[in-house]
Amino acid sequence: MVDGGRLWRRLSELAEIGKQESGGVTRLSFTEEERAAKDLVASYMEEAGLAVREDAAGNLFGRREGKDPDAPTILVGSHVDSVYDGGNFDGPLGVLAGVEVVQTMQEDGVETEHPVEVVAFTDEEGARFSFGMIGSRALAGTLSPEELKHEDANGISIADAMRDYGLDPDRIEEAARQSDSLAAYAELHIEQGRGLENEGLPAGVVTGIAAPVWRRLIFTGETGHAGTTPMVLRHDALAAAAEVMAVIEDEASSTGTSVATVGQLGVEPGGINIIPGRVEISVDLRDIDEGTRDRLEDRILTRVRELCEKRGVGFETEVLQRMVPVSCSETVRGAVRAAYEGLGLEPYDLASGAAHDGMQLVRLCPIGMIFIRSRDGISHNPDEWSSEEDCATGVNVLYSTVLDLAGGT
């Protein structure tokens, strides 16, 4: 069995890096906080007897050799970056769980046929550049030089941030792995929903991962004096955007399965007595079914164009990122179910409404995920919480899963 107390101590130590007054965590990609978090994780990897390295995208790896060093690798892990003022479990649990799994193998003298690597991916969340999964995209070989032009709120591009961090964006292709180098990817993660809690279960088997499309919507109206411009003559960009937000909520609610979120809002010029002339909003659309999500997107854009034409407001939109929903591999799911049964637990299937790095690897190898219970379903929030007992249960499931996949003896 794994050392749940050691895992919990490490989660608590990592939570101190980037800690906010609210008790939440802010660790954005290519920052001092992310560097400090990866350095701490690297020290845990070394303590576990792993060979530690970073690739051209800043992904951190700890490797334990198998009896056949040329066999394809079993990859486990997650990420250590966060959203703004996020929680302590989303990402770090998966990375530290991977370290705990291989450290337990090391301490117990367990040998595996396949090598096992633990990874802390770079920038899963996308909080800084409105473009996420940079590290897993790079590993999958799908990150393009054009995508490194995405900028943060200060106008710093991903490429520039990489240079400041000590990486060379011109060498990003060196992070790509070949499909024959990986046998499977497994990740432990908090559910970020109420499914397991409602069922009274500590953990579950993930069947598939919903995928987001992120868009920026730009409304261009006419700036004017708030006191002297009659209502009938206004072309208020913010009033148009507000009506659009209601449209987005209405259309997403109509499908029964989709979710939509406006998380960013920019208003110019921003004066209390000035009619807004330009407004930008972000839109995050998700569904487990790609067709349903894309039809939702089309309906929203059609209604937005009609609304803006009626109001005399210009409208532009751009895609920030588009992902494809994926199904988890039956091979990995089977190993997870067997792990549950071996521990005397009831396997419970559920889908992930949140996106995860594993979806980027689906063309490289079989992927799978294990969820543990989230208190009140809260995530991306300082109140995000999973109990020490549930974390330990999840890691024990992951241990048995990796042992199965890696051919352990």
- Alpha-carbon distance of 368 to 330, in angstroms, equals 8
- Of 406, 4, 10, 392, the closest CA to residue 203 belongs to 392
Q: Across the strands, what pairs with 63?
A: 51, 117
205 and 243 in a common domain? no
pLDDT at 45 over 80: yes
Express each pLDDT in 220-256 by its tens digit: 999 999 999 999 999 999 999 999 999 999 999 999 9
Residue 115 to residue 207: CA distance in whole angstroms: 25
C-alpha torsion 107→357→123→382, nearest 10: -80
User: Which of 285, 307, 322 lies at the terminal end of a domain, its last residue?
Assistant: 322
CA distance readout (Å), 135 to 18, 132, 177, 327, 398: 20, 9, 12, 21, 22
Domain identity same for 155 and 184 = yes
Is there a single domain that holds both residue 368 and residue 400? yes
Q: Let me know whether 164 and 254 are in one domain.
A: no
* Among the listed residues 68, 137, 97, 114, the one whose alpha carbon sits nearest the alpha carbon of residue 3: 97
Same domain, 346 and 401: yes
Place of tokens 């291989």: 102
Residue 218 has pLDDT above 90, yes or no: yes
Exposed, middle or buried: residue 3 (CB in 10 Å: 0-12, 13-18, 19+)? Answer: middle
Is there a contact between 284 and 261 (Cβ–Cβ < 8 Å)? yes
Looking up residue 278, the CATH number of its domain turns out to be 3.30.70.360
Residues 200 and 312 in one domain: no
Residues 204 and 272 in one domain: no
Q: How far apart are CA 173 and CA 140, in angstroms?
A: 10
Mark whether 187 and 245 lie in a shared domain: no
What 3-state class would DSSP assign to 408?
A: strand
Query: Taking a C-beta distance cutoff of 8 angstroms, is the pair 25, 86 a contact?
Result: yes
Write the single-letter amino acid at 196. Answer: L
Do 342 and 381 fall into the same domain? yes
Residue 1 has what pLDDT?
Answer: 84
Do 231 and 206 share a structural domain? no
Q: Dihedral through CA 381, CA 387, CA 390, CA 396, nearest 10?
A: 100
* Number of compact structural domains in the chain: 2
Contact yes or no for 77/136 (Cβ under 8 A) = no
Q: What's the whole-number mean pLDDT along residues 37-59?
A: 98
Q: Do 219 and 297 reside in the same domain of the chain?
A: yes
Phi, psi of 392 (to 5 degrees): -65, -40
Q: Which H helix or E strand runs over 204?
A: strand 203-209
Average pLDDT of 195-217?
95
User: CA-CA distance, 149 to 145, in Å (whole number)?
Assistant: 7
Residue 344 phi/psi, 5-degree rounding, is 75, 25
What pLDDT, in 10s, does the model give residues 121-151?
999 999 999 999 999 999 999 999 999 999 9
pLDDT band at 301 (very low <50, low <70, confident <90, very high): very high
The token pair that represents 274 in the structure block: 């000035």
Q: What is the pLDDT of residues 324-376, one digit of tens each?
A: 899 999 999 999 999 999 999 989 999 998 999 999 999 999 999 999 999 99
Write the CATH number for 199. 3.40.630.10
Tokens of 294: 């894309």
Which H or E run includes 39? helix 32-47
pLDDT given at position 282: 97
Which amino acid is it at 60?
Answer: L
Full DSSP string of 216-249: EEEEE---EETTTS-GGG---HHHHHHHHHHHHH
Q: Are residues 356 and 344 in the same domain?
A: yes
> What is the domain range of residue 276?
212-322
Structure confidence by residue, pLDDT tens digits, 169-180: 999 999 999 989
Predicted pLDDT of residue 15 = 97
Q: What pLDDT was estimated at residue 346?
A: 86
Closest CA to 38 of 23, 21, 53: 53
Cα separation values, 377 from 17, 208, 288, Å:
24, 18, 18
Per the CB < 8 A criterion, the answer to whether 1 and 396 are in contact is yes
- pLDDT confidence of residue 408: 80
Compute and round to an integer the Cα radius of gyration of the chain.
Answer: 23
User: CA–CA separation, 396 vs 392, rounded Å?
Assistant: 6
